[in-house]
Amino acid sequence: MKLQYRGLPYESTVQVLKTVESGILAKYRGITYAVCCPIHAHTPQVSANLKYRGVLYTPSQASASKPLIQPIGNILNRVFS
C-alpha cells in the first residue's frame, strides 16, 4: 500500500498473524464475538547498532525471544471469572 507522510511517499507491508480460537466468548456493545489468540509473536530482526548515553550496543536475541505479553486468554479468564 502506498502511503504518504509530510510529503514523503513510502510503502507499507501488511503483517498477517496466525491465530487460534481460545474458546472464550466476549461481548462488546451488545455483540458477542469469539476471542482468538496469536500463535506466536513476530519479533523483527534488528541489525542496527544502537547507542544509549554514548555507549554502543546490539540487542541480544535472548531478550527478543521471550514474549513480553501473555496470551489474551489468561487475561480474559481473570477478568470474567
Domain boundaries along the sequence of the chain:
17-80
Per DSSP, what are the bridge partners of residue 10? 3
Q: Which residue, among 11, 71, 52, 54, has the nearest Cα to 2 in the 3D structure?
A: 11
Residue 1 binned pLDDT confidence (cut-offs 50, 70, 90): confident
Residue 46 burial (CB count, 10 A)? 11
Q: pTM, whole model, 2 decimals?
A: 0.34
Which residue has cell 541489525? 47
CB neighbour list of residue 67: distance below 8 Å, 6 or more residues apart = 41
pLDDT tens across 32-62, in order?
999 888 887 666 666 677 888 888 877 665 5
| CA gap 33, 29 in Å, rounded | 11
- Report the candidate in 18, 23, 52 with the shortest Cα–Cα distance to residue 35: 23
